[in-house]
Structure 1
């Protein structure tokens, strides 16, 4: 029985440890928090000034991290083009449905 409990304990610990691993998004957020937090500490800001600085810093998205625009498939581009026209014309639900149907078939 002792021989079986040790491997089960090890497997259980491994499964529990997976829940504590940071995802890439969490890791990126943690890195951003560290980067934002080093600046106000070196400046010696007060509590309110520190909070305002942290809020602005965490809201800011770096230009390098901005995702490049995804290339649309031909079907997605067609949907985008067809969808723009009824919005500009202010069509009602039934009119819009009829327009979209004919636009997407062509």
Structure 2
């Protein structure tokens, strides 16, 4: 099959599955489809690789932002403890004495 040519129903279904595997087996699912079909269907391989890269980037960004969110929760708890103890020490790093 040439790139941009006709596709079969099976190819379209596998391409669709590669994208929807984000709900069951993100990154690994479309990667497996890519590895199986890369030599027999450029259409399926293209969509499976696109899904793999997109899902990998989403996982990396999600992990990074989740880590930041966790850090914000921890810092807020530490600041709440300082406030409860009556401390005037800056509760958040990098903010300094804003509000004094």
Fold-level similarity (TM above 0.5):
no
Q: Which has the higher helix share?
A: 1
**TM-score scaled by structure 2?**
0.30
**TM-score scaled by structure 1?**
0.29
Larger gyration radius, structure 1 or structure 2: 1
Name which structure has the greater RCO, CA cutoff 8 Å, separation 6+: 2
